[in-house]
Structure 1
């Protein structure tokens, strides 16, 4: 009885697991420093225009700062998106979590699935798709070219090992 359970656990254990997240070059500490400097510069310029009597102009610096803050807020909100990909001997599980928190799950049989990579010579990988059972989904759409190459190589290799019965 225990041997059968061990076999089930072995089949369900992930052979490949990846969590894909959009790259953001500026972390939380960098955001604070950036906005402190930008805020200080805006306040300094606002003070100069206020002292010179051009107080209506100083409002534009406040609006510029709010627009800048809004753009960074939207960018950080999009950074919350992620994809979790697990490949076991019995399934390919892809969970996509949108920036809004909405989650979509896809499950494929690894033996009936194909991992398709679209390339352009001058650019590199332009799209990666898992297709099987009449369904398909794109993966890693937000990754940089180098990250796409690494992921495609690793996932394709793991899928090939599973199909061979490694």
Structure 2
């Protein structure tokens, strides 16, 4: 699962939950995909070697390869999100580190922190939020449906103690 509790002992004075989006394409896979795409793009060019037509087609094929590179790199950069929920005996604090480097923070008294699941009416199915301190914030919206359900159960157990 793309989230983990750093302290699993429920009697510990401090617990920390880290959440991150699933990264399906590691750096080696990215390089292999770009290399395979380049190889497949070059296949139609072999019969054109030595002709003037090659120079007319080559820029468009390289532009297509650059577009694939840019799209995959942008997707990877946009998924650089980290959410950290810190629970102490008297406070709950959620910090979301966005891909741009900016951080969003929420904190409240742990007694008033309530996890809520919106099964149908959220932007995604089984939308999980934390409510407290006069605000309601999302947590783990990038997780899959099953992972959000499991996250909600974990949050209920962690905040109940």
Structure 1 and Structure 2 fold alike (TM over 0.5): yes
CA offsets 1:86-126 (integer angstroms, 9 cap, x no match): 12221111010000111122111111122111003xxx843
Equivalent residues in 2 for 1:6-155, closer than 5 Å? 13-15=13-15, 17-51=16-50, 53-55=52-54, 56-120=56-120, 125-155=125-155
For 2:63 and 2:47, locate their aligned partners in 1 and report how far apart those are by CA, in whole Å.
16
User: Going by fraction, where is helix more abundant, 1 or 2?
Assistant: 1
Asked if structure 2 preserves the Cα contact closer than 8 Å seen for 1:125 and 1:149, the reply is no
For 2:59 and 2:89, locate their aligned partners in 1 and report how far apart those are by CA, in whole Å.
61
Asked if structure 2 preserves the Cα contact closer than 8 Å seen for 1:97 and 1:103, the reply is yes
Which structure 1 residue ranges, 5 or more long, are not aligned?
Answer: 1-10, 162-166
Q: Give the deviation of 1:24 after TM superposition.
A: 1.6
The count of aligned residue pairs is 148
Q: Give the deviation of 1:130 after TM superposition.
A: 0.9
Q: CA RMSD in A?
A: 2.2
**SS in structure 2 at match of 1:111:** helix
For 2:114 and 2:73, locate their aligned partners in 1 and report how far apart those are by CA, in whole Å.
37
Asked if structure 1 preserves the Cα contact closer than 8 Å seen for 2:116 and 2:152, the reply is no
Cα distance change of structure 1 residues 48 and 144 upon mapping to structure 2, 3 Å threshold: farther
For 2:127 and 2:152, locate their aligned partners in 1 and report how far apart those are by CA, in whole Å.
10
Q: TM-score, normalised by structure 2?
A: 0.81
For 1:125 and 1:44, locate their aligned partners in 2 and report how far apart those are by CA, in whole Å.
44
Asked if structure 2 preserves the Cα contact closer than 8 Å seen for 1:19 and 1:82, the reply is yes
Asked if structure 1 preserves the Cα contact closer than 8 Å seen for 2:94 and 2:105, the reply is yes
